[in-house]
Structure 1
């Protein structure tokens, strides 16, 4: 493993001592630094070049990265990392071009200019669109890094009502961002949804909707030839078992959720009218 791959697995940043323990001696670190493969953001702390900019900005203004800009430090799921940097400058003047968040209330990252996970998630829930905040919280909650109950208690009063409502859509387990988003949209449509249901002859399916329609959300791995063959067998077994099946990929779930839900509703309505009954 090279030093860049190692840093990517750690969220893009590591201290010198950590790199040495991982098998990258000082000579290796220095070579990578000279070659531009890594960047020094402060004494004894190195980052991938693409991460060094925002960390350097925070250090320059003695501020802390938070909200969406801190997601990579905690390896949280995100939908889109583009946009202004999110900073918590404390009592100091806001940094031009950044989105300013309030004071930090919890312990910060032990060695990076990054707010603690609790503040990062609270800021995200107050700041970001619902789905962007939801995937970040879902990732942290299912890893056991934080509980929904803790976040709910930290968001009291009417002014935090929208933020608290996002927490209602955190689920015990999601194998991908797509599952989180699909579950949100199906529930918003008023559908009866069961997740990770074990069906005889099929195995575990992502969703069973209204107890008759199986819905699978397919990430990039489902495009691999071996997985395509496996999915075909599972689809056939689903139909043989007496249930219909729809599959949706990244584009449908993330960019066209209304179309996805419309197709689910259309199949359910046709089923109610007997369109799939034996003739």
Structure 2
């Protein structure tokens, strides 16, 4: 993922809304046309856009923690297809793994199989890096159900038309479930305490459920060390962050006290010491929308 476009590396902000349509996938969102930035030095990914992220944090480490039939248990009475938003999808490996796991699809069977979990799911996956999005789209085995968009989620002028357009295709105003996997640190480092608060508030207003994997504080220090080792400037906000320490606790407090969400479950921790937390929105906009849609 992730946030602001570093000079000379990413596309201008106004380019993030210029999406092209994929051949054979009507309404499919894709990356903007671009030759892409040059490869970054190892460790030089100040927005979390590591080019080979899934090699050192494989998707199986997360999806294995999630119970089977999760969507059925969360949405037992919803007959329509569910909508999901994956923020900071990188090159899409985890997005595809989540899709397979939540629908009970076996990796060996491919994209023509019917979901066996009793639910259907459409995913919008976004990332700030156009090269990673291009790779994700080219490699996706589910082009009809998983859409990829190059987007800086913190740029409100870019995100509003893209999200509104996607939701409008389904006659919806919010997503059923959001995924925020190892993204919060990059928002926090590049946008400060207020940026993190804004980000969490935005997600909680847009998603009925939120599956989130916060990075622990030791990862903040490691990210700062990587930049210094490469002779680059430190993160603008790192030394002034007042929200620090136990980031699982701090983010849980923000979501519950400031964003009207409740903690549903902690599914445990990955082998690299990151907790997987599921929150539910108490907002009336989600409750009312779900109720009316179930009646249709």
User: Would you call these one fold, judging by a TM-score over 0.5?
Assistant: no
Structure index of larger Rg: 1
* TM-score, reference length from structure 2: 0.28
* TM-score, reference length from structure 1: 0.29
Return the structure number with greater helix share: 1
